[in-house]
Amino acid sequence: MKGINFGIIGCGRVAIRHIEAIQLASNAKLIAVCDGDKARAEEKSLLGNVPFYVDYHEMFKQHPEIQVVIILTPSGSHYEHAVDIISRYQKHLVIEKPFVMTIAEGLTLKLLADKASVKIFPVYQNRCNKAVQFVKNAINQGELGAVRVGTVRVRWCRPQRYYNLSPWRGTWAMDGGAMTNQGIHYIDLLRYICGEITRVHAKLATLGAEIEVEDTGVAIVEFASGAVGVIEIMTSARPDDFEASISAVCENGLAVISGIATNILQTFSPNPAKCQLESENFKDAYGFGHNKVIEEVANSILYDKQFLVEFDDGLQTIKLLHAIYRSDELGTWVEVNEAKDSKRLGVPDEALLQLYRTSTKEHETAL
């Protein structure tokens, strides 16, 4: 089978999952990896059995055959790296969550991608989970019926030492708080499973760590269907992670998805026997969804197929995220499609950004 050549920029923990997914795909091949930290780049190169670089400009010079770049750098660097790679090298991009920090970044990136005739693939891998697909289909096909209340609860523990691991963590410019970092997948799944959200009223707070951003947030939401819901996301729970769940109370019953990464169908009242059948065991919070993501990225390029999450769909989750922040800033209801960028989230910090920029003078490769 004809394959697509991938390169990776950013060799943190999630890079392992992307490397594994490429290795498992019959239509994809990993060519090289890059990270400003030589040790991390070398470690991932050994895992992928490919050359490593500390300068992505050098990586592209040595490997012009790379067709798709997976951006796994800190969140606040995604936009700058994406713009540079599209403008200089005209590569397709896979970008981890959140794929942009602001609505404005997303709109600009879309214009650049269209002009360069390249595709951007936002990563929302949890949409691929068996339990998620099962509940979504049960709603769409009428088994559960119309949603009446949709709820997200993420009650996790991220103590001060977590935020002290890297300078970008817990910052408005490069990370965002519990809603943005830990909550983005759950916020996305709420609209994916229960339908589009039209407006929100949110309250955010910082209660468990000395950081710029929120570690606790609650939002009331209204769906386009007339249903209502609640988003509760926190990293200030102590001393452990307690819960991460999505529930849909519908006209014909209740569905609850839980587990370390929305992988367990905990409750399905119309047919409880489905719970075991539609659940998966994950070894970590990344799950198996990246396997499908990489396979479908390659298919989209090879055969011009529609991707799992189209750009505008992915950007709608970013709009919802900013509506939550704007509601907290304004102290009132905010319409999602009329929301402007938060005054805090994604505001650039040049000193922080400089720590994660690639020097074009320094590079190294090794097998």
Is the residue at 274 inside a domain?
yes
At residue 361, does pLDDT exceed 70?
no
User: Does residue 262 form part of some domain?
Assistant: yes
- Residue 355: per-residue pLDDT: 86
Please indicate, yes or no, if residue 49 is contained in any of the structural domains.
yes
Q: 210-241: per-residue pLDDT in tens?
A: 999 999 999 999 999 999 999 999 999 999 99
What is the number of domains present in the chain?
A: 2
Would you state the pLDDT for residue 357? 81
CATH classification of the domain holding 29: 3.40.50.720
Same domain, 59 and 166: no
Q: Are residues 121 and 134 in the same domain?
A: no
Residue 312 lies in a domain: no
Indicate if the pLDDT at residue 366 is higher than 60.
Answer: no
Percentage of the chain with pLDDT > 70? 97
- The answer on 146 and 94 residing in a single domain is no
pLDDT at 224: 98
> Is 136 contained in some domain?
yes
215 lies in the same domain as 89: no
What letter would DSSP give residue 157? Answer: B
pLDDT over 90, % of the chain? 95
> What CATH number did the domain enclosing 223 receive?
3.30.360.10
If asked whether residues 94 and 155 sit together in one domain, one would say no
Instruction: Mark which of 228, 262, 283 sits at the end of a domain.
Output: 283
Residues 130-151 pLDDT 10s = 999 999 999 999 999 999 999 9
Q: Do both 274 and 147 map to the same domain?
A: yes
Which residues constitute the domain of residue 144? 130-283
DSSP-assigned letter for residue 67? -
Domain boundary among 240, 264, 283: 283
What does the pLDDT look like over 272-292, one tens digit per residue? 999 999 999 999 989 999 999
Secondary structure of 308-355 in HEC code, one letter for each residue: CCCHHHHHHHHHHHHHHHHHHHHCCCEEHHHCCCCCCCCCCCHHHHHH
